[in-house]
Amino acid sequence: MKFNRRIFLPLTVALLPCFAWAQTVVPDSNEEDEIVADDDADDFDRAVRENPVIIPDEADDIDIPIPAFIKKGANHIIYNGADWTKLRSAFENSKNSPVSIVHIGDSHVQADINTGTTRELLQYDFGNAGRGLISPLRICGTNQPRDYVFQSRNSWNSVKLMNPTWIQTVGFTGTSIRPASPTSEITIGTLDTDDYNPFSSTTLFHNGKLTVKDVTDENGNPLHFRAIPSRDYTQIILASLATKINVSFASAGDLTLYGAALSGDRPGVFYHAIGNNGATYDSYNRIGTVGLGINPLQPNLVIISLGTNEAFGRRADTRTFTNSIDRLVKNIRSANPEALILLTTPMECHRSVTTSKKVRVRNKRRKGRKATYRTVTKKTRSYAVNANIAPLRQAILDYGKNNGVAVYDWYEVAGGSGASSSWISSNLFAKDRVHHTHAGYNLEGRLLYDAIMDALRNQN
């Protein structure tokens, strides 16, 4: 299978200048190096995780070779007693009724490269039901996938998931925009540069009252539509297919908008991605309404890919982490009892460390005086395997086993312990050694697709 599509490139967000990376050479010394906890290193890691910089590869082909260090034998779903029969039936019936998958995660998902790969492969096999969920990430000041448009000429008050305080309600997408005027307009749709992906209806997810005034195409021509309001969303049904629309609406000051879902009203697969840079299980638990929020998407399968950011604490608190998993899983299950849940483990990655070394340096010499020396501490930053990943991965495996929740052990599939070195040498890791290159994300998305297809073919 060969694809020649344009990979979705997120906008790159520059790291803060104080965290710009520079390799430092440590002077010779007889003193032993000491790796120390350092607040600057923690801040550096936080900036990297919340503002990823992903450089595009020249080749966009998602059907890339699978390296030898990938553990193909582990590339399957661990069911833990969960019954996937209904999901298999849903896929078998995908020519009549769409299958809906919701994938929740952190920056690995926000970029929508790996999830975009999985989406494209599944839709190639079962049909494209539509682009699905899109979020106002760019309006909120962060990177947004390049295959869709969500923009506005108006002024908005915006909040994103990882803001320390929220001045307004944040929805299940982790984003929230509030119009600064009673009448506003948004432009939503898919890009012409990508595969043709028209839609015939869109669902706007919001809190507060939203009254649709009119809908036009990208050239300003009026479109026939019907607006169906509900408590948490408003559905707009178009009379014909479109790839980009402008929606004008009125609000009464209590409106916050979270995102939109684009539907072709045709069979196939929806693969909705909800990703937020720096996110953790507790971040989504802070919202408190994730389960209710995704309910209108009618998910057959909810995939949760979190754990990387929790591993950047000073130590791995597995008990608290497990409680956080349980809280989110129960929140989703309570509002979506028919949906299967699949947890994925984070793969091995690196974190920055500070190495401290004492060295002798010469003082500024004064004329006619003997040279004097003093001992100073030199610090240099480098990388080391994040030791917290392994215990958190095990906590996810244990939770799935103890609670009958399926798990995809990406940690093991990616190569297990020591995998990060292989990914670095194969140019599959980005320079920050937390995120992947385009090729790395393509590989991850392809392998998840293979695991899902294996689960659909084989009975548990």
Please tell me the predicted confidence (pLDDT) of residue 51: 63
Q: For the beta carbon of residue 409, count every other beta carbon within 10 angstroms.
A: 23
What is the C-alpha to C-alpha distance for residues 411 and 157, in angstroms, rounded to an integer? 39
Average pLDDT value for residue range 3-7: 40
Q: Of the candidates 248, 265, 282, which is a domain's last residue?
A: 265
The Cα 172–Cα 284 span in angstroms is 8
CATH number assigned to the domain comprising residue 412: 3.40.50.1110
pLDDT at residue 10 above 50? Answer: no
Is 167 exposed, middle or buried (CB count within 10 Å of its CB: 0-12, 13-18, 19+)?
exposed
Question: Per the structure block, which two tokens stand in for 198?
Answer: 């028209």
Tens of pLDDT along 59-96? 456 677 899 999 999 999 999 999 999 999 999 999 99
Three-state SS string over 54-105 comes to CCCCCCCCCCCCCCCCCCHHHCCCECCCCCCHHHHHHHHCCCCCCEEEEEEE
pLDDT, residue 356, reads: 77
Residues 35/384, Cβ–Cβ less than 8 Å: yes
Report how far residue 404's alpha carbon sits from residue 93's, in angstroms, rounded to the nearest whole number: 26
Q: Are 138 and 144 in contact (CB under 8 A)?
A: yes
Q: How many domains does the chain have?
A: 2
Higher pLDDT, 364 or 343: 343
Each residue's pLDDT tens digit, 257-295: 999 999 999 999 999 999 999 999 999 999 999 999 999
Indicate if the pLDDT at residue 38 is higher than 90: no
Last residue of a domain, one of 265, 286, 304: 265
- Over residues 330-347, the pLDDT tens digits come to 999 999 999 999 999 999
Q: Which of 256, 111, 248 is nearest to 178 (CA)?
A: 256
Same domain for 155 and 80: no
pTM, 2 dp: 0.85
Band of residue 394 on the pLDDT scale cut at 50, 70, 90: very high
Range list of H helices, 94-147: 107-110, 114-126
The pLDDT assigned to 201 comes to: 97
**175/49 same-domain check:** no
pLDDT of residue 383: 86
3-state secondary structure at position 459: coil
Do residue 202 and residue 300 come from a single domain?
A: no
Lowest mean per-residue pLDDT among 69-73, 316-320, 371-375: 371-375
> What is the per-residue pLDDT for 49?
58
- Closest by CA to 13, choosing from 144, 127, 136, is 144
Let me know whether 142 and 241 are in one domain. Answer: yes
pLDDT of residue 190: 94
Alpha helices in 336-431 (DSSP H): 389-403, 410-413, 419-425
**Do 190 and 86 lie in a common domain?**
no
Instruction: Let me know whether 9 and 120 are in one domain.
Output: yes
Whether 306 contacts 280, CB under 8 Å:
yes
**Do 244 and 116 reside in the same domain of the chain?**
no
The residue count of the chain comes to 460
Domain that holds residue 303: 1-128+269-364+372-460
Same domain, 243 and 157: yes
The answer, yes or no, to whether residue 221 has pLDDT greater than 60, is yes
| Rounded percentage of the chain residues whose pLDDT exceeds 90 | 74
4 has pLDDT over 80: no
CATH number of the domain that residue 224 is part of:
2.60.120.1360
Classified as helix, coil or strand, 286 is helix
Do 47 and 136 lie in one domain? The reply is: no
Q: What's the rounded Cα separation, in Å, for the pair 62 and 272?
A: 19
**438-451: average pLDDT:** 96
Burial 373-397 (b: 16+ CB within 10 A, else e): eeeeebeebebebbebbbebbebbb
pLDDT recorded at residue 141: 94
For residues 359 and 233, state if they share a domain: no
* H/E stretch holding 49: helix 39-50
pLDDT band at 32 (very low <50, low <70, confident <90, very high): very low
| 235, 265, 295 - which closes a domain | 265
Examine the domain organization and report whether 115 and 175 are in the same domain. Answer: no
Same-domain check for residues 314 and 190: no
Higher pLDDT, 396 or 351: 396
